[in-house]
Structure 1
């Protein structure tokens, strides 16, 4: 851990603790929408690790990993806040889509079509599809409190910065998995294909677009709409 001059070897420590950065980034990305890039979080996390190395003092009475974890997570959260990862307007639009889907499902007794959702929202089909592209599908099983005016920083502090607010813990529940599988089965055919290819087969938007013979933008719209439908189904779970 030390150089020939008896100083801490930062390069060695960075290599040793880089898996910690990746682990924290994976935990955080699970609570964020698809437009947030994992590599970006990792890069910011490495900066946080470097900062931790320069500031750590054994006299503080804490282990380095504990200290570094706080610095790494803090750096990631600061980056998300600064980059406006999901604007308040986008969250409102997501809630509006979910509300329209819920009302129409209750009224029609089936999954509403895009044109019907657009009409319920009082906008054109083109405007609705553009909205789908902008919101880009929030996290599948998360978990944000859609009943209130969810401020961006509050959302990050309550859900992304909290180790216990892990959406995967919900998926580990057998009943939750059954409810999710059933909800996916009831998606319109093309949206079901998108979800299967994206989550089960780990295909990217370009690959899915090639299979469905549509644009990447259209795949993004289908993904966002599928997420909205699933969130409505799972909301009261």
Structure 2
């Protein structure tokens, strides 16, 4: 058991650093690693070669699960930051309709009457921004569309990802991203590179990678505005 833990300690660090781009700045990578090591030890204790699964595959699930369990329930993104990001998304949405293409950072900042540095600060603060929130579908009385469309046990925004129409809308939104942001999303979600590795590919800092990722998520959310509005009226 101890030997397996020693051999796969680097796996914990790799998973932790990969998750960090989807988490807000107040989350410390060392805390994730500590929790992940507990998941690794649990995996080493319960691993059974007879099941025909590679230990690394088995351990990865336990490590990631331990980290997500620790994070679950935390307030990842303050409401004020969410509100500011919503304003950025609205500006993106309006400009895209006007320009027929994705707006640049300078164009977004100018449209919002902000210095570029203030826009980038808002995006920096929004690390951990998600593609879909339950309250995207809520009204002023805090009733959610998902509570009507799905059984209570399935009132989960992630289940929407299984809907074919939504997937097509999302694919189209990704194709409309600026080329560098498309590349970043592929490197992160398909190649599973971390911040440092993506930064080396794009020749930018880790903080800039994180910023570009949040910006890409905001662009995707702005693309989904019409789809969400349509779901609320149907």
1:126 pairs with 117, 129, 138, which one?
Answer: 117
| Secondary structure, counterpart of 1:110 in structure 2 | coil
* Residue number in structure 2 paired with 1:169: 159
How far does residue 218 in structure 1 lie from its aligned partner after superposition?
0.8
Q: What whole-Å deviation, never above 9, does each CA across 1:125-177 have from its counterpart, x for those lacking one?
A: 111112111111511234432877899xx99xx9xxx8633333111112211
Q: Distance in 2 between matches of 1:131 and 1:103?
A: 19
How far does residue 34 in structure 1 lie from its aligned partner after superposition?
2.6
Compared CA separation, residues 137 and 102, structure 1 to 2 (3 A): farther
**TM-score, length basis structure 1:** 0.60
How far does residue 37 in structure 1 lie from its aligned partner after superposition?
7.5
Q: Distance in 1 between matches of 2:93 and 2:177?
A: 14
* Residue number in structure 1 paired with 2:173: 183
Tell me, which stretches of 5 or more residues in structure 1 are unaligned?
Answer: 1-28, 47-72
Compared CA separation, residues 232 and 205, structure 1 to 2 (3 A): same
Bigger share in helix: 2
* Residue number in structure 2 paired with 1:214: 204
Structure with the greater alpha carbon radius of gyration: 1
Q: Distance in 2 between matches of 1:137 and 1:75?
A: 12
CA RMSD of aligned residues (A): 3.8
**Conservation of the 8 A alpha-carbon contact between 2:89 and 2:222:** yes
Provide runs of 4+ in structure 1 moved above 3 Å. 36-40, 73-76, 141-144, 146-151
Aligned residues: 169
Tell me, which stretches of 5 or more residues in structure 2 are unaligned?
Answer: 1-18, 39-68, 228-234
**TM-score, length basis structure 2:** 0.60
